[in-house]
Amino acid sequence: MKKYFFKIRNLAFITLIIALMSCEGRRDFPELQETGVNLDNFDIILLVSGNTQDITATFEPNITPNRDYIWTVDDPSLADLVINEDKSVSLTATGSGETILRITAVDDNTITAAAPVKVISGAPVDITAQSTITTNRENSGGPNAGEGSLKLIDGDLGTKYLSGYLSPFWVNLEFDEPVVAGYYAFTSANDAASRDPRDWEIQGSQDALTWDTLDVRTEYTFSDRNQTREFYFDNNTAYKYYRFNLLSNNGSSLFQMAEWQLFNLPN
């Protein structure tokens, strides 16, 4: 009987130790709090007058934000804004012109980000289908291959153009008549981010011999596959040719991209 009592006492002691350890394991930790904010997904926010667009910031680390934020536009005559419960903002274009959208933490003004906003009178017009594409670095199967250059402007984000990468590397869009373009979009392809464009120029020409540089981008990355990034450049000249001049990719011996779209912007 005495031996049985000692077994029960030992069992109770072990149970107490486990309980104490379990309580220790359940101790409360302070909630993670974001230490940064960015609007890196927006190279420019293009708004059509009268339309509303929801803008969401990215927080660092990638958590649901715990701080409160205030959104502002430098020129409030161009856009009205409503701050939503999820800390995004609904931006409604009310004028025409350019301004800056800003987000700043209420309790720490060093946690802030900004993105340019351009308000235009009508929707951008996709003029890509009016062009003929040529490149100096074609897919080994030719332009009509499953990953040939024609896939870069086929309007299908699920296809891609793939070729070997070697500098110089360019892709031209030729139009029957000169056209004014001021906005373009690149969509990353389905795999291997090392093949994505990183540094490039957009150029315009009347004869495909002499080129004017219209836009320069450096150290750009795509955070996701099949991600579309949009870029605005200031241009009022009608060109017969537009060139995507790739200066470098992210290190691969191959280049890939799902889509290149070129747009005309209404005045």
Which of 76, 104, 120 terminates a domain? The answer is 120
Average pLDDT (22-51) is 81
Contact 61, 34 (CB under 8 A): yes
pLDDT tens profile 171-223 = 999 999 999 999 999 999 999 999 999 999 999 999 999 999 999 999 999 98
Confidence grade of residue 24 (pLDDT, cut at 50, 70, 90): low
What are the tens digits of pLDDT across the range 73-119?
A: 999 999 999 999 999 999 999 988 999 999 999 999 999 999 999 99
Domain shared by 242 and 257, yes or no: yes
Query: Confidence class of residue 25 from pLDDT cuts 50, 70 and 90?
Result: low
A 10 A CB-CB count for 73 gives: 17
- Kindly tell me if the per-residue pLDDT of 62 is higher than 90: no
Q: Are residues 251 and 150 in the same domain?
A: yes
**In this structure, are 136 and 259 located in the same domain?**
yes
Whether 132 and 200 map to the same domain: the answer is yes
The owner of tokens 């070729």 is 163
Q: DSSP alpha helices (H): ranges in 84-185?
A: none
Mark whether 130 and 190 lie in a shared domain. Answer: yes
What's the pTM? 0.80
CATH code where residue 222 lies: 2.60.120.260
Distance between CA atoms of residues 236 and 181, nearest Å? 8
Q: Which two tokens stand for residue 107?
A: 């309790």
pLDDT, tens only, 222-234? 989 999 999 999 9
> Residue 5 has what pLDDT?
43
Radius of gyration of the chain, Cα coordinates, nearest whole angstrom: 27
Output 145-153 pairs: Cβ under 8 A, ≥24 positions apart.
147/256, 151/258, 152/257, 152/258, 152/259, 152/260, 153/128, 153/129, 153/259, 153/260, 153/261
In the numeric block, the tokens 């990638």 are attached to 62
Q: Which amino acid is at 117?
A: V
| pLDDT above 50 (res 65) | yes
Residues 190 and 211: their CA atoms lie apart, in Å, by 31
What residue numbers bound the domain in which 67 lies? 36-120
Last residue in a domain, options 120, 155, 171: 120
Check whether 258 has a pLDDT greater than 50: yes
Can you read off the two tokens belonging to residue 140? 């080994």
**Judgement on whether residues 111 and 231 belong to the same structural domain of the protein:** no
